[in-house]
């Protein structure tokens, strides 16, 4: 396969231009700029908050310099707290074309939209000249998330993704699973798979933090739809979520915006550190996808039993449907029918291999179902994290 070569040596599997608003007050203007180009590889992202947040700044910096990104247009109202000058400089230093428009300084809505659209035309032409070079599986970063889980999830799609992860990590790829709030009850199994004793202790601590976070808020990562789909406890849901990790050794624990330094299997801790003050750890599945992308994921494997139709900006989403009845209703939105396992038409190994092969095809340019349908969901909120310690990462030779 071939990838888009970036100045830092990383390679992307897509070549998108981003329009990024830096406060909700600039969202409409940014959307008006992006809409005429949405089918030409121009994606809309943004941070809604008016007040600064180190987490949001870090995530945005990772996103705008993601290997799938070829250029960025920043849209500012003008009085928000986001460090637009620092972000612009960060993008420019990455070698990507970048421009910042400030609505209060650039004449308001109509003039800013017109200027933004003109810049997008130029950026698309420049993006078309980005060289494509050979890219191998060991250069891929693949994330996984589950949403709309039901009683079939832990028996079909989730373990099939785990088999795909085992195949990919064996080929040298980087694979990331999450979330610690949906792995409560499985922490000792993960610790036993950790590459070092120190990493095992970090994994136990991260899940304990998640349990404390949810207990303090009085809720867990368990939705009414999960119960309607046949799940009964968070531990039962956790076992299904855990199955997505496969059986490979866990080589590292990272937090949102941390890019894994080597190939192998990583656990992403998405529950904020410190005092419980930010509310729900993730307000939707798309928040988790954004965090996986911020860690470098070229694409995301999304398993669903009840059915989810979302995709994402920046990186493709491959939908793995766990329930055969759901697949029959929502086939157009799905990429893999893992429900065949439940009906005896395929084995876990066969579907795992199918998912692995589809990852390569999507990396080569094949659109996913959500891409073909125009899905580009995105959400970014407030959180806070402490830096990870050296025991969380594998040694780099």
Cβ contacts of residue 225 below 8 Å, gap of 6+? Answer: 148, 150, 306
DSSP, res 106: T
Got the DSSP string for 311-366? --SSS-EEEEE--HHHHHHHGGG-SEEGGGTTTTSS-HHHHHHHHHHHHHHHHTTP
Distance CA 16, CA 124 (A): 9
Tokens of 224: 């009414």
Tokens of 32: 């008006």
Kindly tell me the burial class for residue 309, based on how many C-beta atoms sit within 10 Å of its own C-beta (0-12, 13-18, 19 or more).
middle
Tokens of 73: 């247009």
Distances (CA, A) of 156 to 189, 337, 343, 344, 362: 20, 9, 10, 11, 22
Residue 149's pLDDT is what? 74
- By C-alpha distance, which of 304, 300, 56 is closest to 45? 56
Provide the residue-wise pLDDT of the chain in tens; the chain has 397 residues. Answer: 999 999 999 999 999 999 999 999 999 999 999 999 999 999 999 999 999 999 999 999 999 999 999 999 999 999 999 999 999 999 999 999 999 999 999 999 999 999 999 999 999 999 999 999 999 999 999 999 988 778 788 889 999 999 999 999 999 999 999 988 888 888 999 999 999 999 999 999 999 999 999 889 887 665 565 556 555 555 555 667 889 999 999 999 999 999 999 999 999 999 999 999 888 888 889 999 999 999 999 999 999 998 999 999 999 999 999 999 999 999 999 999 999 999 999 999 999 999 999 999 999 999 999 999 999 999 999 999 999 999 999 987 6
Residue 220's pLDDT is what? 63
Strands (E), the chain: 2-5, 11-12, 16-21, 42-46, 69-76, 98-102, 132-134, 141-146, 174-177, 250-254, 264-268, 299-304, 317-321, 336-337
Distance CA 339, CA 321 (A): 7
Q: Are strands 336-337 and 98-102 parallel, antiparallel or unpaired?
A: unpaired
CATH architecture of 2-133: 3-Layer(aba) Sandwich (3.40)
Cis preceding-peptide flag for 179 (omega within 30 of 0): yes
- By C-alpha distance, which of 344, 332, 282 is closest to 145? 282
- By C-alpha distance, which of 101, 78, 122 is closest to 32? 101
- Half-sphere exposure of residue 282: CA atoms within 13 angstroms, side-chain side: 28
Residue 55's pLDDT is what? 97
Ordered by start, the domain boundaries in the chain are 2-133, 137-392
Tokens of 71: 């250029």
């Amino acid at each position: 396969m071939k990838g888009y070569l970036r100045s830092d040596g990383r390679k992307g599997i897509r070549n998108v231009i981003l329009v990024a608003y830096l406060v909700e007050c600039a969202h409409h203007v940014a959307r008006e700029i992006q809409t005429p180009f949405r089918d030409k590889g121009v994606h809309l992202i943004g941070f809604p908050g008016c007040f600064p947040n180190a987490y949001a700044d870090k995530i945005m910096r990772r996103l705008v310099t993601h290997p799938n990104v070829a250029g960025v247009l920043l849209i500012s109202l003008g009085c928000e707290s986001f460090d637009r000058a620092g972000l612009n400089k960060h993008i420019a230093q990455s070698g990507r074309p970048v421009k910042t428009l400030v609505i209060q300084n650039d004449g308001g809505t109509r003039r800013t939209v017109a200027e933004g659209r003109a810049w997008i035309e130029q950026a698309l032409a420049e993006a078309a000249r980005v060289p494509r070079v050979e890219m191998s599986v060991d250069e891929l970063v693949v994330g996984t998330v589950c949403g709309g889980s039901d009683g079939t999830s832990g028996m079909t799609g989730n373990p099939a993704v785990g088999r795909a992860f085992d195949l990919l990590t064996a080929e040298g790829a980087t694979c990331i699973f999450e979330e610690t709030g949906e792995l409560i009850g499985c922490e000792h199994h993960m610790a036993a798979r950790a590459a070092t004793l120190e990493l095992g202790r970090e994994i136990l601590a991260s899940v304990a933090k998640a349990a404390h976070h949810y207990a303090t808020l009085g809720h867990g990562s368990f939705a009414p739809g999960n119960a309607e789909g046949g799940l009964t406890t968070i531990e039962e849901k956790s076992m299904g979520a855990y199955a997505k990790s496969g059986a490979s050794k866990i080589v590292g624990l990272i937090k949102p915006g941390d890019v894994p330094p080597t190939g192998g299997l990583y656990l992403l801790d998405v529950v904020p550190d410190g005092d419980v003050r930010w509310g729900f750890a993730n307000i939707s599945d798309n928040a988790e996808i954004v965090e996986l992308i911020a860690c470098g994921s070229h694409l995301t494997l999304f398993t669903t039993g009840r059915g989810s139709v979302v995709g994402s900006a920046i990186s493709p989403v491959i939908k793995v449907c766990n329930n055969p009845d759901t697949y029959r209703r929502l086939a157009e939105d799905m990429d893999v029918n893992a429900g065949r396992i439940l009906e005896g038409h395929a084995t876990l190994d066969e579907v795992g291999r199918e998912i692995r092969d589809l990852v390569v095809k999507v990396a080569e340019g094949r659109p996913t179902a959500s891409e073909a349908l125009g899905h580009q969901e995105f959400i970014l909120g407030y959180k806070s994290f402490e830096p990870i310690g050296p025991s969380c990462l594998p040694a780099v030779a």
